[in-house]
Amino acid sequence: MAQRSPPRFVPTLTEVVSPQVETRATAASGLSQEQVIQRVMQRIDIALERKLREAIAQTVLEQTRSIAPVLREEIEAVVRETVAQAFLDELGPTP
């Protein structure tokens, strides 16, 4: 039986991957692979939390700056309306 080559869109193995071995750094430090993974995950968690906190703070600051003028206009309109109504109530016709 002749060996046919697979169609070109079928993935082919180009590299032989050997089982993962403990690195020299891991072996020298006396840490297991699981311990190294745990320490790396802790570092990633701390870094991501810090960066996320910074990104959220920046976004909140930008949103606050953009909404401040609109809020001022709304507050000004409410104050004007309230003051005008108070004057009308006070100076209105007396019974």
Among 12-16, 19-23, 89-93, top mean pLDDT goes to 89-93
Q: How far apart are CA 11 and CA 13, in angstroms?
A: 7
Q: What is the pLDDT of residues 29-67, one digit of tens each?
A: 678 889 999 999 999 999 999 999 999 999 999 999 999
Query: Has residue 21 got a pLDDT over 70?
Result: no
The full 3-state SS of 8-72, as one line of letters, equals CCCCCCCCCCCCCCCCHHHHHHCCCHHHHHHHHHHHHHHHHHHHHHHHHHHHHHHHHHHHHHHHH
- Residue 31: Cβ within 10 Å count: 15
Q: What is the pLDDT of residues 76-90, one digit of tens each?
A: 999 999 999 999 998
| pLDDT at site 26 | 56
- Residue 26: Cβ within 10 Å count: 14
